[in-house]
Amino acid sequence: MTATPLIPPGASVTPFRRKLAELPPRSPSNDWYTRAATTLRGGDGGEHGLLLYKLILRAAESGHPVIALDIGTARGFSALTMARAMLDADIAGHVYSADIIAHHQPRHWHSEKQAPNEPLAGIQIPRSEIWSRWFPPVIPG
């Protein structure tokens, strides 16, 4: 029996740090990103957000509107980071997110990841309230 390769023929794997270096140098503001990573990721750094931010910037280079789909939204770090890239770079587009947990359904968000002094530690809160409390809509202008 022949094993099926994990990577299709002709494809390659790019290490995370190298991929970040290949993408546009622009990054979200440190204050915003630190707040987002702490609130939404439980302080784990959320490095994948930098990759998503830069991928949105790269996609916008085509001049076409950008459409992003976030599946498994959880607290919304990825969706908000992609939306922030669009806002920061004045990119036309939309971020759509989907999750089995309704936007207004309260729940504990991995409270074991939260340090006692972090915003979501030990509380039950819906994603909608997280977004409106810590990331209210920004109106360009």
Question: Where do the structural domains in the chain lie, given as residue ranges?
Answer: 27-134
pLDDT tens digit sequence for 8-67: 888 888 888 888 888 888 888 888 888 888 778 766 678 888 999 999 999 999 888 999
Model pLDDT, residue 141: 47
The tens digit of pLDDT for each residue in 81-134 reads 999 999 889 999 999 999 999 999 998 876 666 667 777 777 888 989 988 887
Q: What's this model's pTM, rounded to 2 decimal places? A: 0.81
- CB-CB contact of 53 with 86 (8 Å): no
| pLDDT score of 30 | 84
In the chain, which ranges are continuous DSSP H helix?
A: 16-22, 30-41, 48-60, 77-88, 127-134
Select from 36, 54, 53 the least CA-distant residue to 45: 36
DSSP reduced 3-state for 103: coil
Q: Which residues contact residue 94 at a Cβ distance below 8 angstroms, ignoring those fewer than 6 apart?
A: 65, 66, 67, 68
Give the model's pLDDT for residue 52.
Answer: 92
Axis-axis angle for helices 77-88, 30-41 (nearest 10)? 160
